[in-house]
Structures are given as C-alpha cells and as structure tokens.
Amino acid sequence: MKILVCITHVPDTTSKIQFTANNTKFDTTGVQFIIGPYDDYALARAVELRDQTGGSLTALNVGEAETEPTLRKSLAIGADDAIRVNSFPKDSFFVATQIAHYAKEGGYDLILMGRESIDFNGGMVHGMVGELLGMPSFSPVMKLEVEGSTVKMAREIEGGKEHLEAQLPLIAGCQEPIAEWKIPNMRGIMSARTKPLKVVEPVSQETQAEATGFQLPPAKGAVKLVDKDNVAELVKMLKNEAKVL
C-alpha cells in the first residue's frame, strides 16, 4: 500500500503571534515552526499502517525552503521519503491543487492529512483534494483500520460518533485519538539526513482567495472580584457587564 501524508509547517502553539506590513503579513521573527498537530496524528497512524502492510510512506508539504526542517522531522518520525512543492501555500485551493497533482502522479492508495491546519483552521483541503481526484474524503477521522482494500473508520459528528466503511483509494482528515504522536529517536534523526527529499515545482493555479489583513483578539480585561456573600452584585455584573444572563 502506498501512503501519502500531507503535512503543514505551522507556528508552535506557544508562539507569540505578531503581524507586520500594516497587519497584512505574519511576523516570523523568533517563531519556532512545527508539524501541524493534526498532521502529526495522521503521520503517526500512517507509520503504523506502513509497518503493518509493508508498503511505502511519503510525506508532502507545499512550502518554500524554510519548511525543509519540518519535512526532515517527518522523515525522522518514519516517512520513507518526502516531497516539497516549492511554493508559498497561497490558499486552500492552491494547496489542494498541488497535492492532487502529485498524488495522481504517485498513484497513492491512501492520503492522510490533519483535519485542519492550526494557522488558518480552514479544514477544506482534504475535501478539495478528494473532489480533484474523484476520491471519497472523510473528516474528522478518529479511528482508521485497513483490511485488504476496505477501510473502517470512526468519525466525530455532533453528539456522537459515526462508524463507516469505504474502499481504497480514499482521503482522510485525521484527529486524535487516531494514533499517539511519535517522537523521533536518535536512529530516526540520523537516518532522516540521508532519506530522499525531492523538491518539485508547483503546477500553475491562480489564487482563489487572498488575506487582506489580520487582527489579534482583544486583550483580556482585568479580573473583578466579588465578595462571596454579595450575590446581588454578582448577578448584576453577569447581567449588565458580562451579558451572560
């Protein structure tokens, strides 16, 4: 079985977010980048499936040269090889077009990715790739087992879970608890240095959407303390200031 895992290159969740150029560009100064947490779950499950089936596992990222350390980490975790599409990820459809093009060339049986990236949180790429390739796409997938050509999944829905089956090939947007994150060991880190990382040029695709500006959330207000015996004042504040009553 040939598996493709698509990973994003995103700021660490502890990073302090700032913008430049009149709030139109993300300021990367001093920011540490990581594999998207949801993509980490997809990668972990892909490694398990590859080990079970004896197939191959390729990691793919749409990004410029600075994303290569993130791709190398995916190789250290267990991917056999990696592809970097040499372009800034302009929008969701642009990214999906690149993934679909190289996935079609590679003839992959299973394409895994996170349910969404944690920078823009669009959650659209897996569905777009499915449409472009004519493959079924499922998200958010919490459990995934492969038995021959049949894939058994559990998907989170409002108020519960949905259990379903589908045939390969397919695409899944993953989330916890599909697998446990894998931390690269020293052997994996050393072997990642020599594993193939191929850089390919993007296929032509016009940008469908463009971010015109970013805005940080408002700063948190000061905490107001109310005496435990002053219930009337607490109710008044909840009603008139917090407006939750």
pLDDT tens by residue, 103-113: 999 999 999 99
Question: Residue 130: what pLDDT?
Answer: 96
pLDDT at 163: 96
The pLDDT mean for the chain works out to 92
Task: Please write the tens of the pLDDT for every residue from 184-228.
Answer: 889 899 999 999 999 999 998 888 888 888 888 888 778 888 888
Quick check: 40 and 181 in contact, CB under 8 A? yes
| CA neighbor of 5 nearest in space, from 144, 120, 149 | 144
Say which range, 122-126, 177-181, 241-245, has the weakest mean pLDDT: 241-245
* Cα–Cα dist 175/114, whole Å: 6
Q: What is the mean pLDDT of residues 14-27?
A: 85
Q: CB pairs under 8 A, 24+ apart, for 64-72?
A: 64/88, 66/9, 66/33, 67/9, 67/33, 68/197, 69/33, 70/7, 70/9, 70/33, 70/34, 70/35, 71/7, 71/197, 72/192, 72/193, 72/197
Domain boundaries, the chain: 2-218
Express each pLDDT in 69-81 by its tens digit: 999 999 999 999 9
- Architecture of 2-218 per CATH? 3-Layer(aba) Sandwich (3.40)
